[in-house]
Amino acid sequence: MLKRMAVGTAIAALAAMALQVQISAQQQAQGGGQARRAVGGTTAGNDAYPTDDQYRNSKEAQALVKKAFDIAGTDWRLQERFEKSCGALGPQRPAVLRQNAGLPGEPTRVMEPVKIFDNMYFIGYNTIGAWVIPTSQGILMIDALNNEKDAIEIIEPSLKKIGLNPANVKTIIVGHGHFDHFGGAPYMQQKYGTHIAMSKLDWDLIERPNPNARGPQAARPLPKRDIELTDGQKVTLGDETITVKITPGHTPGSLAYYIPVKDHGRAINILMLSGANITPDRASLMAFNSALDYAKQVKAQALINGHPGLFGNETGWMEQIRETPNQPNPFVLTADQFGKFTDIMRYCAESRLVALDYKGTN
Ligand SMILES: [Zn+2]
């Protein structure tokens, strides 16, 4: 069984590599990837990513990439994460990678709820999800999908499928102020009196008029300002306490979360990066580094993200958990491996920043 799984993951890794190769070939055909697209804004605007030429030609950037590559060494699980983390665009959704490669998109589909940890479920789509943590005093959720329709057609029925009552969702922590993370929150707040927690900075962000929004987008309902989170704050519900840190970069107040969970009965800590690992400037890189330091300190062992596919083959791992729930959890690394993974993320993020300085002289 183990052998079969290893082969399966090896094939997945090969497929990912083949995709990378296709992407590179396509980018060359397009003249150095001018048509590429990165997902999600940054607090520094659209010029926060180096071009492929800058990234390839900056000796400083490539020295950092080499450091990250060497840390992964011969560990294929770290190699897979290195592949996802390092590059001019950093971790990107599979759909974006496919689009940049000129490949047809993978359709969005609703996922069956999956029990990722003993006390944590994933619900939502293959491209964006929400996380459900039942506690001794009700349900804690992270994120709320895109809109009211998702709340009615996905959040409520998924909770019922798991055997939970949507009326018991006491708090939703929103990772950052974008609609795909808080869209369903106003409905939950109104219908069930669910508390909505977000960084103060991102409450401010969503309440500012958005000059780019038009028509129905501009009219989409917002949650009413509720719990304002600050750096290092703890959010407790019953027997669960989540600690958050502010990691600006994708938005001014994107959150990193430290979440204690149980994996096959064993207590472990996991890290969630809602702002992906987008570090458009030094201040942002420092905040991420301190968030990653803290993850090491609490011996975190798994990384999750609202968008599956950003840091690994997350939807594949979810299927694997569904099919073989008693096998080791593919999300979970050893604390030592995870520490190395945080170093890989750190060097890869820094490599993008230093590549921005490349002006074609070294
Ligand atoms: Zn976003």
Return the exposure string of 13-34: e unless at least 16 CB atoms fall within 10 Å of the residue's CB, then b. Answer: beebeebeeebeebbeeeeebe
Q: Average model confidence (pLDDT) for the chain?
A: 87
Of 231, 230, 213, the closest CA to residue 222 belongs to 213
Cα 128 to middle of ligand 1, angstroms = 10
Residue 116: predicted pLDDT? 97
Cα 45 to middle of ligand 1, angstroms = 13
Cα 334 to middle of ligand 1, angstroms = 29
For the chain, where are the alpha helices, taking DSSP H only?
A: 2-29, 52-57, 59-72, 76-85, 94-100, 148-150, 156-162, 179-182, 185-192, 200-207, 282-297, 314-323, 335-355
Tens-digit pLDDT profile for residues 245-287: 999 999 999 999 999 999 999 999 999 999 888 898 999 999 9
- Which SS3 state, helix, strand or coil, does residue 16 take? helix
Cα 209 to middle of ligand 1, angstroms = 17
- DSSP β-ladder status, 227-229 and 195-199: parallel
DSSP output for 127-170: SSEEEEEEETTEEEEE---SSHHHIIIIIHHHHHHHT--GGGEE
Of 234, 226, 227, 229, the closest CA to residue 246 belongs to 229
**DSSP at 193:** -
Cα 275 to middle of ligand 1, angstroms = 7
Other Cβ atoms less than 10 A from the Cβ of 193: the count is: 10
Residue 315: predicted pLDDT? 93
Residue 316: predicted pLDDT? 94
Cα 95 to middle of ligand 1, angstroms = 15
Cα 307 to middle of ligand 1, angstroms = 9
**Torsion 153-184-221-107 (CA) sign:** negative
DSSP output for 205-225: HHHS--TT--GGGTT---PPP
Cα 135 to middle of ligand 1, angstroms = 27
Cα 353 to middle of ligand 1, angstroms = 20
- What residues pair up with 87 in beta bridges, in sequence order? none
Tens-digit pLDDT profile for residues 2-59: 444 444 444 444 444 444 433 443 333 333 444 456 655 778 776 788 888 989 999 9
- What residues pair up with 262 in beta bridges, in sequence order? 267
Residue 107: predicted pLDDT? 84
- Please state the pTM of the whole predicted model: 0.86
Q: Which residue has the tokens 């958005």?
A: 210
Cα 291 to middle of ligand 1, angstroms = 18
Cα 74 to middle of ligand 1, angstroms = 33
Residue type, 216: P
Cα 16 to middle of ligand 1, angstroms = 24
Cα 175 to middle of ligand 1, angstroms = 9
DSSP output for 274-285: TTTT---SHHHH
201's tokens: 């900075």
Q: What is the pLDDT along the chain (362 residues), one digit of tens a residue?
A: 444 444 444 444 444 444 443 344 333 333 344 445 665 577 877 678 888 898 999 999 999 999 999 999 999 999 999 998 998 877 777 777 777 777 777 788 999 999 999 999 999 999 999 999 999 999 999 999 999 999 999 999 999 999 999 999 999 999 999 999 999 999 999 999 999 999 999 999 999 877 676 666 677 899 999 999 999 999 999 999 999 999 999 999 999 999 999 999 999 999 999 988 889 899 999 999 999 999 999 999 999 998 998 888 999 999 999 999 999 999 999 999 999 999 999 999 999 999 988 887 65
Cα 70 to middle of ligand 1, angstroms = 31
Cα 107 to middle of ligand 1, angstroms = 20
Cα 340 to middle of ligand 1, angstroms = 26
Cα 195 to middle of ligand 1, angstroms = 21
Cα 241 to middle of ligand 1, angstroms = 24
Q: Which residue has the tokens 């047809």?
A: 104
Cα 250 to middle of ligand 1, angstroms = 7
Cα 179 to middle of ligand 1, angstroms = 8
Return the exposure string of 247-259: e unless at least 16 CB atoms fall within 10 Å of the residue's CB, then b. Answer: bbbbbbbbbbbbb
Cα 258 to middle of ligand 1, angstroms = 19
Residue 248: predicted pLDDT? 96
Cα 177 to middle of ligand 1, angstroms = 7
Q: Burial, 316: exposed, middle or buried (Cβ in 10 Å; 0-12, 13-18, 19+)?
A: middle
